[in-house]
Amino acid sequence: MLNEPFSIGNSFIHRTDPRLRLISAFVYSIVVAVLYGFPSLIASVGFSFALVRVAGLNGKAVLKRLALINGFVLLFWLILPFTAGGNILYSLGPLNIYETGVFLALQITLKSNAIIMAFIALVSTMNFSTLGHALNSLRLPQKFVFLFVLTYRYIFVIEQEYKKIWRSIKVRGFFPKTTIHCYKTYAYMIGMIFVKASARADRVYRAMLCRGFDGSFYTLAEYPSSGKNRLFLCLIFFCTFSIIFLEIVFHG
């Protein structure tokens, strides 16, 4: 079933109004995405890390998610330093490592980690119905919210179907090899995942209909407008502006 390990908790961030968290994550990630200077980038990674700490999330689980993103980032490291051109930093036989390439790759690494950590701390700390509710109340079109939330919801279903099929393949002694049998098995598996996931999605949707679901989301969580919300907003804005300030001073 739905696995939202980060949504369970009672930290300062968990108790902050989800709308504020969404807006903050959105604004903050735009700011981080356009940074160039290393002082501001490092500061933003530090700030995002602090957010994860404040949310009191399981460090191991967060690292696991970051590893996933950094797998993609690794691709940049394999290409950019060797192809960017400009000043040569180091020569490795026939390969040249370029300064601009290394800087670019480093920037991408810092940016993506800062943004992902901020989203983990701010957005994945709410469960899916709260997220839907927050998006609704920010006056996003209902159809869009519905699409978004259910996509998010059913990704877990697909994962679960994958695990089920994979288990049944494994217990029957399957071992991946470069054979047509192996490719066929993979093809069947992928096909079956979608067939099964779609059938299950259908059933879950029917169950939701039976319980009066009409496209709107409600949440049981209470987010009274309190001083804490204002404190959160002040903190986020202070840090975002500090990062912008660093950027202007060192890279202006």
Partner 1 sequence: MGNSMTTDPIIHLNGIWYSYPGEQPVLKNLDFQVFKGDRIGLLAPNGSGKTTLFHVIMGLLPIAEGSIRIFGRKIESEKDFVWVRRKIGLLFQDADDQLFSPTVLDDVAFGPLNMGKSKKEALAVSRRVLSFLGLSSFEDRITFKLSGGEKKLVSLATILSMDPEVLLLDEPLNGLDNKTRTKLMDILKTIGVSYVVISHDIDFLIDATDSIYTLKDGRIEKDTTVYVHSHDHAHMMGHVPHQHE
Q: Judged by CB under 8 A, how many residues of this single chain contact partner 1? A: 26
Closest separation in Å from C-beta 209 to partner 1: 7
Q: Which of 8, 34, 92, 180 binds partner 1 (CB under 8 A)?
A: 8
For residue 172, state whether it binds partner 1 (rule: CB under 8 A): no
Closest separation in Å from C-beta 44 to partner 1: 30
For residue 155, state whether it binds partner 1 (rule: CB under 8 A): no
- CB of 63 or CB of 209, closer to partner 1: 209
3-state secondary structure of 46: helix
If one counts every other C-beta atom within 10 angstroms of the C-beta of residue 16, the result is 23
Identify the helix (H) or strand (E) that includes residue 97.
strand 95-98
Give the span between the Cα atoms of 183 and 252, in whole angstroms. Answer: 54
Q: Measured between alpha carbons, how far is residue 224 from residues 16, 58, 76 in Å?
A: 9, 27, 44
Which residue stretch of 57-65, 71-79, 139-147, 216-224 sits at the interface with partner 1 (rule: CB under 8 A)?
216-224
For residue 213, state whether it binds partner 1 (rule: CB under 8 A): yes
For residue 218, state whether it binds partner 1 (rule: CB under 8 A): yes
For residue 209, state whether it binds partner 1 (rule: CB under 8 A): yes
Contact (Cβ atoms closer than 8 angstroms) between residue 35 and residue 247? yes
Which residue stretch of 52-60, 93-101, 135-143, 196-204 sits at the interface with partner 1 (rule: CB under 8 A)?
196-204
Contact (Cβ atoms closer than 8 angstroms) between residue 62 and residue 118? no
Q: Which of 200, 233, 235, 242 binds partner 1 (CB under 8 A)?
A: 200
For residue 195, state whether it binds partner 1 (rule: CB under 8 A): no
Q: Which of 70, 100, 129, 142 binds partner 1 (CB under 8 A)?
A: 129
Q: Measured between alpha carbons, how far is residue 167 from residues 91, 160, 185 in Å?
A: 48, 11, 13
For residue 203, state whether it binds partner 1 (rule: CB under 8 A): yes
Q: Which of 92, 95, 180, 220 binds partner 1 (CB under 8 A)?
A: 220
For residue 143, state whether it binds partner 1 (rule: CB under 8 A): no
93 Rama sector, left if φ>0, alpha if ψ -120 to 50, beta otherwise: left
Q: Which of 139, 143, 181, 211 binds partner 1 (CB under 8 A)?
A: 211
Give the span between the Cα atoms of 201 and 195, in whole angstroms. Answer: 10
The structure tokens listed for 76 are 């940049």
Give the span between the Cα atoms of 58 and 76, in whole angstroms. Answer: 28
Closest separation in Å from C-beta 203 to partner 1: 4
Q: Which of 1, 92, 95, 180 binds partner 1 (CB under 8 A)?
A: 1
Contact (Cβ atoms closer than 8 angstroms) between residue 117 and residue 66? yes
Identify the helix (H) or strand (E) that includes residue 90.
strand 88-92
For residue 4, state whether it binds partner 1 (rule: CB under 8 A): yes
Give the span between the Cα atoms of 223 and 238, in whole angstroms. Answer: 22
First to last CA, the chain: 49
* Footprint on this chain of partner 1 (rule: CB under 8 A): 1-4, 7-8, 127-129, 153, 200, 203-204, 206-214, 216, 218, 220, 222
